[in-house]
């Protein structure tokens, strides 16, 4: 399925053109071949200076075709069962308190406004050092609002996003941001603001060819809670094929309790959402007509929770919208 016109209009709105070239280093995301790869195991080895985060609480997005050193893309079946059992227990307890009808009914569009705090992690005050302009951040908030409202062609969800503040931090020991590292924990411990309903987004150069990662919601607030996104993946950035803001949309989907569309492959309950067809592995590029599972439906390559190019993604499903609002009420609502 091609790029819908409304999506193209959304991408271009309010985005300043730039000819800035992405400065590449050993830990920054480079331009990689458009080839599909399966995710690395959750328990992949880490380098000596890294402390692996709880794999049941973190998901990441990598560029299609990349081989990452530490990429908790998919949870094991046991980890999914554990999370889903906990989620079901919380929903059952909430049903006893407020009534079952409130748990399975899609909330009105944009009925929840999420405050957003953005932390720009930079090596220095240059663009090459991670100091992206405010205009790119505002464009990212616009992309979130359009994606989650259904304006790009998918199902409307309950969520809208309001930028609360931008916090710029110059700290070379946090740049690039290394997933699962002691430095990441120190950074978030010092910077995170708000309660469980506050979305903290950390922007910068990232390690291990990752575009971003996010935490799942939990019963109690964890200092690691939030979303990390490659700064040059924001609208107007320099990450070719991944610079229209959909890494942010993808990671916020995880923060609201969505799995990847390819979670679990072709077997079992997959991503736990009934209206996203099963998918054996992450998509790369925009492979129209891709069908990797024998069950009905083509691969959901246009879904925000796949690994397709940004230009290919435009939708959440109604089932995903319901799962997100149920998770919000279970974990993040005040």
> In whole angstroms, how far apart are CA 3 and each of 6, 205, 244, 328?
8, 28, 13, 30
Residue 281 CA to residue 332 CA, distance in Å, equals 30
Long-range contacts of 85-90 (CB under 8 A, 24+ apart): 86/219, 87/257, 87/327, 87/330, 90/219, 90/330, 90/331
Whether residue 251 lies in the annotated active site:
yes
- Catalytic member of 50, 184, 251, 279: 251
Cβ-Cβ contacts under 8 Å for 316 (sequence gap 6 or more) = 147, 148, 150, 154, 155, 157, 253, 303, 304, 305, 324
Residue 313 CA to residue 303 CA, distance in Å, equals 5
| Residues tagged active-site | 251
């Amino acid at each position: 399925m091609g790029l819908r016109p409304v999506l193209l209009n959304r991408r271009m709105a309010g985005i300043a053109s730039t000819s800035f070239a992405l400065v590449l280093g050993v830990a920054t995301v480079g331009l990689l071949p458009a080839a599909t790869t399966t995710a690395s195991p959750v328990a992949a080895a880490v380098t000596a200076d890294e402390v692996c985060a709880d794999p049941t609480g973190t998901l990441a997005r990598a560029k299609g075709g990349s081989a990452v050193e530490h990429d908790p893309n998919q949870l094991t079946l046991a980890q999914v069962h554990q999370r889903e059992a906990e989620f079901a227990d919380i929903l059952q307890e909430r049903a006893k308190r407020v009534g079952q009808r409130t748990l399975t009914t899609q909330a009105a569009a944009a009925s929840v406004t999420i405050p957003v705090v953005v932390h720009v992690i930079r090596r220095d005050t240059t663009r090459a050092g991670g100091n992206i302009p405010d205009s790119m951040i505002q464009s990212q908030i616009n992309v979130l609002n359009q994606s989650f409202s259904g304006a790009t062609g998918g199902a409307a969800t309950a969520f809208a996003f309001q930028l609360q503040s931008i916090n710029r931090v110059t700290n070379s020991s946090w740049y690039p941001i290394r997933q699962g590292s002691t430095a990441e924990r120190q950074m978030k411990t010092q910077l995170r603001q708000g309660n469980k309903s506050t979305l903290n987004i950390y922007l910068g150069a990232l390690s291990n060819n990752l575009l971003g990662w996010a935490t799942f919601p939990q019963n109690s607030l964890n200092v690691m809670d939030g979303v990390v996104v490659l700064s040059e993946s924001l609208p107007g950035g320099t990450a070719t094929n991944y610079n229209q803001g959909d890494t942010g949309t993808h990671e916020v989907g995880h923060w609201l309790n969505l799995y990847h569309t390819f979670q679990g492959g072709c077997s079992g309950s997959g991503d736990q959402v009934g209206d996203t067809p099963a998918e054996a592995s992450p998509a790369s590029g925009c492979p129209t007509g891709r069908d990797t599972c024998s069950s009905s439906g083509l691969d959901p390559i246009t879904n925000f929770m796949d690994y397709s190019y940004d230009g290919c993604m435009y939708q959440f499903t109604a089932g995903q919208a319901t799962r997100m609002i149920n998770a919000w009420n279970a974990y993040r609502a005040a």
